[in-house]
Chains A and B, each alone.
Chain A
Amino acid sequence: GENVEQHPSTLSVQEGDSAVIKCTYSDSASNYFPWYKQELGKRPQLIIDIRSNVGEKKDQRIAVTLNKTAKHFSLHITETQPEDSAVYFCAASETHDAGGTSYGKLTFGQGTILTVHP
Chain B
Amino acid sequence: EAQVTQNPRYLITVTGKKLTVTCSQNMNHEYMSWYRQDPGLGLRQIYYSMNVEVTDKGDVPEGYKVSRKEKRNFPLILESPSPNQTSLYFCASSISRGGNSNQPQHFGDGTRLSIL
Q: Which residues of A contact B (CB under 8 A)?
A: 1, 4, 6, 9, 31-32, 34, 42-46, 49, 51, 89, 93, 95, 97-98, 100-111
Contact = CB atoms under 8 A, between A and B. Distances in A.
Contacts of A31: 100, 102
Contacts of A49: 104
Interface on chain A toward B: helix, strand, loop, or mixed SS?
strand
Interface string B40-70: 1111110010110000001100000000000
Contacts of B110: 43
A111 to B, nearest CB: 5
Nearest to A97: B100
A95 B102 contact: yes
Nearest to B48: A105
Contacts of A89: 42-43
Interface centre among A45, A93, A98, A104 (most CB of B within 10 A): A104
Interface of B: 30-31, 33, 35, 40-45, 48, 50-51, 58-59, 90, 94, 96-105, 107-110
Given A43-B108, A103-B50, 17 more contacts: A34-B104, A89-B43, A93-B102, A97-B98, A97-B100, A102-B97, A102-B102, A103-B31, A103-B94, A103-B102, A105-B45, A106-B45, A107-B45, A108-B43, A110-B42, A111-B40, A111-B42
Contacts of B44: 108
B104 A46 contact: yes
A46, A100, A103: residue with the most chain B Cβ atoms closer than 10 Å: A103
B42 A43 contact: no
3 closest A-B pairs by CB: A32-B102, A104-B102, A108-B42
A106 B31 CA distance: 12
B50 A101 contact: yes
A83 to B, nearest CB: 19
